[in-house]
């Protein structure tokens, strides 16, 4: 919802600002966040291979959903890291659990996405390589 109490009526300025605030998060999200950069690089690699190997429309839909899920979870994980940094400046077992669990959520999603990517791309890659040889 945001930091201020808001009424429920439609407000164009609020809508425009919500997009502005979202875009304002891009640079801080990527600044110093190695894993987000790595996930984004894999998105680009999968897109290149998707065009090269001519994946189907359904496979594109699956890849797009997986891209969104992994990147979104990584952004949530980054947000949780920032919130924990605000909440405490000393070591906390509870804070560590929160950070570890949010990192695990990203890992599980990335692992499942990787497996689905193998299912989509390995057969096409084998065919592509056999056609070259």
Q: Please state, in angstroms and rounded to a whole number, the distance separating the CA atoms of residues 15 and 17.
A: 5
DSSP string, 55-73: --HHHHHHHHHHHHHHHHH
Half-sphere exposure of 133 (CA within 13 A, CB side): 6
Task: Please tell me the predicted confidence (pLDDT) of residue 5.
Answer: 54
Mean pLDDT per 10-residue interval, the chain, length 133 residues = 61 91 92 93 98 97 98 96 92 95 97 98 96 90
Cα(95)–Cα(101) distance, integer angstroms? 10
CA distance 75 to 90: 23
Tokens of 72: 């979104």
CATH 2.160.10.10 is right for the domain spanning 12-132: no
Say if residues 90 and 116 touch (Cβ distance below 8 Å): no
pLDDT of residue 86: 94
């Amino acid at each position: 919802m945001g930091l201020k109490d808001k009424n429920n009526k439609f407000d164009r300025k609020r809508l425009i600002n919500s997009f502005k605030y979202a875009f304002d998060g891009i640079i801080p999200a990527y600044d110093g966040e190695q894993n987000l950069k790595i996930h984004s690089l894999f998105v680009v690699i999968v897109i290149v291979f998707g065009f090269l190997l001519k994946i189907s429309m359904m496979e594109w839909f699956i890849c797009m959903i997986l891209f969104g899920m992994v990147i979104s979870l990584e952004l949530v994980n980054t947000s949780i890291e920032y919130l924990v940094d605000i909440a405490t400046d000393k070591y906390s077992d509870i804070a560590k659990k929160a950070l570890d669990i949010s990192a695990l959520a990203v890992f599980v999603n990335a692992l499942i996405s990787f497996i689905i990517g193998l299912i989509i791309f390995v057969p096409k890659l084998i065919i592509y390589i056999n056609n070259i040889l």
